[in-house]
Structure 1
Amino acid sequence: MENLNEKKWVDGLKASENSEIIDVRTPEEFNEGYIEGAKLINIQDTSRFMDQIEQLPKDKDYYVYCRSGRRSEMACQIMEKAGIKNAYNLEGGIIDWHGEVKK
């Protein structure tokens, strides 16, 4: 698990040929705007979150974000414990995101 600033997060995402963006916010937050290509896995829905994390391929690179970076940091730690080696947290979350936000 690594905390990355926006530039390193985006650069890593672009450089990876086997990556996925994970948004761990609530469905309501997701519907307000999300980073293009993001898959929603709500960390606040604990049992469902764990089920979905355990089904993810372990060999992918996961770029994870939330609103401010706290929930996504926790999600990355959980992902690591589930056997995912490459989970990258977006420091500052979508609040500090300067890229495009889809609605």
Structure 2
Amino acid sequence: MEELTQDEWAEQLENDDKAVIIDVRTDNEVAAGIIPNAIHIDFYRGHDFIAEIQKLDKDKNYYVYCRSGNRSGQACKIMDQLGFKNAYNLIGGIMQWQGEIE
């Protein structure tokens, strides 16, 4: 897992043709807005969260965020344990996100 600042995350994401964005917030949080093209997998779904993560392609690069960066950091650690090579946590989460939201 690597922790990326807002600028690092956005720049790396823009230049990554294997990028997948994952939003690990709750349904209610996502209803307030989501980063474009993000896949929503609620971290609080426990075993269902892990089951959904395990379906993902381990050769892709995952840019993970939540509200503040805490849950997404935990999600990245789980992904590391499951054998994902590239999981990037957005420091500060969507609360500090300066980019587009839909």
Task: State TM-score, norm by structure 2.
Answer: 0.98
2:40 pairs with 1:45: no
SS of residue paired to 1:44: helix
Unaligned runs of 5+ in 2: none
* Distance across 2 between alignment mates of 1:99 and 1:55: 28
Number of the residue aligned with 2:33? 33
Could you say what secondary structure the match of 1:30 adopts?
A: helix
Q: CA offset at residue 28 of structure 1? A: 1.0
Query: Aligned pair count?
Result: 102
Shift of 1:43: 0.5
Residue matched to 1:17: 17
Q: Which runs of 4+ in 1 moved over 3 A?
A: none
Aligned partners of 1:57 and 1:99: how far apart in 2? 26
Q: Does 2:4 correspond to 1:4?
A: yes
In 2, the alpha carbon distance for the partners of 1:75 and 1:84 equals: 11
C-alpha RMSD over aligned residues: 0.6
> SS of the residue aligned with 1:98?
coil
Structure 1 residues not aligned, in runs of 5+:
none
Report how far residue 47 of structure 1 moved. 1.0
Instruction: Write out per-residue CA displacement over residues 48-95 of structure 1, whole angstroms, 9 at most, x where no aligned residue.
Output: 100001111000000000000000000000001111010000000000
